């Protein structure tokens, strides 16, 4: 846990969030500022500042983040129309919260390449 990290505070319950799923490794909640009809975040319980901090031992965790992303997207009905899973990493990608997270976006059409 990082004392100043907003997602650690959500994981611990210190800051409220609309929680959708949790297990021993990850939790998922609604993004505060949704960029699509579905905009969820899946995060590790443990503080990792970005994807660059994941080590070989974190294979199961990285798999879980994506399996939960797919499960929630399916539950929201995006298993036919499609959805986008994004992990912004550091400044050029626009990462603003430095606790690893997977965005799950769905319910509209997304451009490629992203802006």
Active site residues: 101
What distance in Å separates the CA atoms of residue 70 and residue 73, rounded to the nearest whole number? 5
Q: Cβ 98 to ligand 5GP, closest distance in Å?
A: 7
Secondary element (H or E) of residue 102: strand 102-106
**5, 25, 61, 97: residue in contact with Zn ion (rule CB under 5 A):** 5
**5, 21, 76, 88: residue in contact with ligand 5GP (rule CB under 6 A):** 88
For 65, phi then psi, to 5°, come to: -55, -40
Q: Is the distance from CB of 34 to CB of 41 less than 8 angstroms? A: no
Q: Cβ 68 to ligand 5GP, closest distance in Å?
A: 16
Which residues within the stretch 11-50 sit at the binding site for ligand 5GP (CB under 6 A)?
A: 15, 17, 29-33
Q: Is the distance from CB of 32 to CB of 26 less than 8 angstroms? A: no
Q: Which positions touch Zn ion (CB under 5 A)?
A: 2, 5, 7-8, 47, 99
């Amino acid at each position: 846990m990082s004392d100043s990290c907003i997602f650690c505070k959500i994981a611990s319950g210190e800051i409220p969030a609309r929680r959708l799923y949790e297990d021993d490794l990850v939790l998922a909640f609604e993004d505060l500022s949704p960029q699509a009809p579905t905009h969820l975040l899946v995060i590790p319980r443990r503080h990792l500042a970005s994807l660059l901090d994941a080590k070989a031992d974190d294979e199961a965790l990285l798999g879980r983040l994506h399996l939960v992303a797919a499960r929630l997207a399916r539950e929201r009905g995006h298993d036919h129309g499609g959805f986008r899973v994004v992990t912004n990493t550091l400044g050029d990608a626009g990462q603003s919260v430095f606790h690893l997270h997977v965005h799950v976006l769905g319910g509209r059409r997304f451009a490629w390449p992203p802006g």
